[in-house]
Amino acid sequence: MTSRAPRLTWPRPTREVRDGSLWFVASTGALRAPWRLSVYLAAFAVVWTLANSFVYPVLSVATSWLDSPPALYSLMMLISVTGATVIALRHVDGQNWSDIACGRDAWRGRVLVFGGTVGALAIGSVLAALLSTGGARLSGLDDGSGAAEWSATAFRALWLLAPAALWEELAFRGYLWRIAEQAGGSRVALWATSVAFAAVHAFNPGANVRTLSIVLLAGVSLGVVRQLTRSVPAAWLAHLAWNFTMAAVAHAPVSGLPFDAPGWRFEPSGPSWWNGGAWGPEGGAASVLVLLSAVWWYSRRMTRAAPIPESNIDVRLPRVANLES
């Protein structure tokens, strides 16, 4: 018996939206996508309010003794997104974590290593392209810093970036992907969630049409990782490896957000359209070339692979909890 590589597939949309005559529920028993989205957003607002009223003060006091207390925004967002997902997924849809590619199989070591490696290699290629073409340079800082200072900086970056990447992937490549996929198919899910992913970065410092377009392309790339691996955690580690390499290794801005790092700086030189300027190395044409190349290569490789057997395709639709009783 020979093993075959998984195929990048784009299933046709279900008939969740087009069937049925009720305003809220289709004939399949599934709550229609706009109402599921509304429930999710309402649940997020409730959990966000509760988390900031009760959890945030406790964490603020618990970390106040540190010389540089860590930012808690990303952690509050992760708590809120996780809470909203539990409410909408389990208590409205009647589904489980595997239905949004977060089940036990999604956390397999090989899948996680694949995601992290893809993210690190992709941004590493961008950095290498900029350094080799003169689009950026590494400038040393005479600050007397050593391994201890770098380790502390890397830990602070990880504290901020890990929950930030996780809540974004859980929201966009997790529950929102599931809603869009069941309403319009996987291609709709890919592009709809990528547009939403770009939109949440619109308030970052230095955001403009160019940088947000590249964030949209990054969302497409993460969606391809999610689709290839059937794993949101793999997309999370690809996302985290990309951001962590910029912040803790290259000491460059991440999506317009600068990081105070010791030892050296990754400084752009030349046109910002190529190196990303103040947005960071992910905001220029070098990043576009790498992301497009990666998506093209994986798409060609996987579409040439053997199709997935019909028995392995999950076509279950969500059910509205307690509606059929």
3-state secondary structure 12-63: CCCCCCCCCCCCCECCCCCECHHHHHHHHHHHHHHHHHHHHHHHHHHHHHHH
The angle that helices 109-133 and 232-244 make with each other, rounded to 10 degrees, is 30
In tens, the pLDDT along 164-206 reads: 999 999 999 999 999 999 888 999 999 999 999 999 999 999 9
Q: Mean of the pLDDT values across residues 8-36?
A: 62
User: CA-to-CA distance for 225 and 237, rounded, in angstroms?
Assistant: 10
Helix (H) or strand (E) holding 127: helix 109-133
CA dihedral sign, ordered 249, 253, 254, 258: positive
- Would the pLDDT of 41 be above 90? yes
Lowest mean pLDDT among 128-142, 150-164, 291-305: 291-305
Q: Is the pLDDT of residue 322 over 60?
A: no
Say if residue 22's pLDDT is above 80.
no
Question: What is the reported pLDDT for 20?
Answer: 45
- Token pair of 236 as six digits: 């999370």
Mean pLDDT of the chain: 85
- Per this entry, what is the length of the chain? 325
Residue 72, Cα to own-chain centre: how many angstroms?
19
- What is the model's pTM? 0.85
51 pLDDT above the threshold of 80: yes
Closest CA to 27 of 38, 35, 12, 15: 15
Pairwise CA distance, residues 122 & 126, whole Å: 7
Q: Are 286 and 184 in contact (CB under 8 A)?
A: no
Q: Token pair of 79, please?
A: 């708590």
Residue 306: per-residue pLDDT: 40
Instruction: Pick from 3-17, 227-241, 287-301, 307-321 the range whose average pLDDT is largest.
Output: 227-241
Burial of 209 (0-12, 13-18, 19+ CB in 10 A): exposed
pLDDT above 70 for 6: no
DSSP state, 302? H
- Is residue 65 predicted with pLDDT exceeding 70? yes
Q: For 11-20, 201-210, 258-267, which range has the lowest pLDDT when averaged over its residues?
A: 11-20
Residues near 296 by Cβ (< 8 Å), separated by ≥ 6? Answer: none
Percent of the chain with pLDDT over 70: 82
pLDDT at 43 over 60: yes
